[in-house]
A = this chain, B = another copy of it.
Amino acid sequence: MPGKRHLFAPGPTPVPPEVLAAGAQPVIHHRGPDFRELMRRCLGRLQQVCRTENDVLLFTASGSGAFESAIVNLLSPGERVLVVCAGEFGQRWAALAATYGTDVKELRYAWGETPRAEDLRAALADTGAEVVVLVHSETSTGVVADVEPLARVAREAGALTVVDAVSSLGAVPLETDGWGLDVVVAGSQKALMTPPGLSLVTVSAGAWERAARSTTPRFYFDWAKHRASLEIGTTPFTPAVSLVAALDTALGMVLEEGLENTFARHAALGRACREGAKAMGLELFSPDEERSAVVTAILTPDGIDARELVLALRDRFGITVAGGHGELGERMFRIGHIGYYDVFDITTALAAVEILLAEQGAEIERGAAAARALDAYGETVRV
């Protein structure tokens, strides 16, 4: 079966056949009633998934494009922004904000640490930052931050919160309005079960006020242009209409499953992955807790190069998992369990890792991982 592929990366993620089929419908014009109806339904469903009544703006762009929109619309050059960094994506947003001439302060943790509200309170008091950037699910480490208390601290300090929910939206609980998140950034290609190419922001009233004042030049990612076009049910620039149709179908599936059920499934998948990896004898890099429901970062046994493991999974079995970034690359690999994913995807990933490690002579327990993963899953969600 040389052609069969298993996509277990933390994004892009597998897309259901119904969603692929929706994206393969004939292209419709983006300034007609067919698209208007599609767009309004899709944005309404995104509001439900984001649990917000704020505006949702949809961009034809990767998640990084939507994140850029948040920076350029909220911040003028010289304005102070505090970025909470505990991995690759926190660092990326700090670099992005610096590119646009903002005064970037970082609350920096070692990769894999979980940001703490008391640290953020102190950092806000120190810096007086007007905007705080939080990463909900730090895909590079598997850590899902406890956003609610972090956002509360930011609000108490009078700062706006921007939350990177690219890999978390639809996988773990996120309450945009309930937690007072001003801007939530997400992409189509993770738990929203859609091919990559669309991204979104939610924009609170406070965020709109800041956007009206921002002097940073912007055109393609200008929120005001998007809001004006939304009033007539479209976008200022020709959108990826096929992906909007796909996303709408996928959101319908998410809402049909029920958000709480989706969150429970992801939590159970994360637990299954961690328990299975531990049963095999592997050490986790991700924290072993309920919120770690998006991606599991695992360390290889001593003497086994994770980069070679990742390549062997791909070349021998057609299985894509992710490696680790930078220095972590020698020891870390990451299994995504996001979106259109069931427990047998976990057992497949672990079984493949197991046989490769065994071949390398690693001291691991054969056969334990899949069984333990299934049991752990069943303890949480009925298999």
Contact = CB atoms under 8 A, between A and B. Distances in A.
Interface of A: 5, 7, 9, 11-15, 20-21, 23-30, 32-34, 60-65, 68, 95-96, 99-101, 187, 189, 195-197, 217-221, 236-243, 314, 320
Given A12-B27, A20-B26, A242 B195 contact: yes
Given A7-B27, A12-B29, A23-B242, 18 more contacts: A20-B25, A20-B26, A20-B242, A27-B196, A32-B314, A60-B61, A60-B65, A62-B238, A62-B239, A63-B237, A64-B219, A64-B238, A65-B237, A68-B219, A99-B218, A99-B219, A196-B241, A240-B240
Those 7 A-B pairs whose CB atoms lie nearest each other, nearest first: A197-B240, A24-B24, A62-B237, A195-B242, A64-B237, A20-B24, A196-B238
B15 A196 contact: no
Main secondary structure of the interface of A (DSSP, over half): loop
Given A62-B220, A217-B101, A9 B29 contact: yes
Q: Which of A7, A28, A217, A218 neighbours the largest number of chain B CB atoms within 10 Å of its CB? A: A217
17 contacts: A5-B34, A7-B27, A12-B238, A14-B27, A27-B189, A27-B195, A62-B238, A63-B237, A64-B237, A68-B219, A68-B220, A99-B218, A187-B238, A195-B240, A195-B242, A196-B242, A240-B243
Nearest to A30: B12
Q: Which of A23, A26, A27, A240 neighbours the largest number of chain B CB atoms within 10 Å of its CB? A: A27
Contacts of A242: 20, 23, 195-197, 242-243
B7 A220 contact: no
Contacts of A197: 60, 197, 239-240, 242-243
Nearest to A323: B31
A201 to B, nearest CB: 14
Contacts of A189: 27, 238
Contacts of A240: 195-197, 240, 243
A60 B13 CA distance: 17
Contacts of A236: 64
Contacts of A239: 62, 196-197
Contact of A60 (B34, B62, B101): B62
A7 B23 contact: no
Contact of A100 (B9, B30, B217): B217
Nearest to A193: B27
Contacts of A241: 12, 195-196
Contacts of A29: 7, 9, 12, 320
B96 A219 contact: yes
Contact of A11 (B28, B34, B60, B238): B238
A101 B196 CA distance: 32
Contacts of A238: 11-12, 62-64, 187, 189, 196
A32 B320 contact: yes
Contact of A220 (B28, B64, B95): B64
A208 B154 CA distance: 42
B23 A23 contact: yes
Contacts of A101: 217
A236 B99 CA distance: 16
A120 to B, nearest CB: 25
